[in-house]
Amino acid sequence: MNKLTLTKYYFLFMETAQTSVAKSALYMSLLTLILCSGALAIINIFHDFQHGQVWMDAPPAIVLFVLLVILAPTLETALLATFVIIFQKVRVENTIIASLFALVMAYFHSEDPVRGIIVTIPFFLWTYFYASTRKKLTDRAWKIIFFAHAFHNAAIVMIVTAEPAFT
């Protein structure tokens, strides 16, 4: 993504964010899901996910829901906000802050490098927009990021829990 694309998306996002937290979070999570799906489709051409590393059986759907839709977005949004505040005090540019945080989260989320690449996409976008909007949308910016993350993870939980029915 170039800076012009991010700027256009930023202005569209800001218009929606002024009126509705849920709507802007939904738009942001749809964007991240589309980008991740596209990246997965491209990477799947070169990498075999079916025979990759399997290190544990899937937990029950309710456990996945609580962990991935409630707990993870809460902790990771707090970590994201802290990371952004610290780096903005040192006067680091927002794109660099977003890149660093996305790489850190990719490292913690992935069991192999390919999955780590996919994780950088949403975390880069969430961090960039939080860093760009936190002073303008003081009480809304973190809520938007939290709900975008929760919607994103909810879609993934639905896909993961529905997959055995289709195989």
Instruction: Kindly list the domain boundaries of the chain, sorted by start residue.
Output: 3-49+58-166
Which among 39, 23, 22, 6 has a CA at the least distance from the CA of 106? 39
Residue 79's pLDDT is: 94
What confidence score (pLDDT) does residue 57 get? 57
Predicted pLDDT at 16: 65
Q: Would you state the pLDDT for residue 13?
A: 62
Q: Residue 133's closest CA among 7, 26, 14, 8?
A: 14
CA atoms within 13 A on the CB side of 28: 36
Mean pLDDT by 10-residue block, N- to C-terminus, for the chain (167 residues)?
58 65 75 73 57 55 82 92 95 94 87 76 91 87 90 83 62
**Whole-prediction pTM value?**
0.75
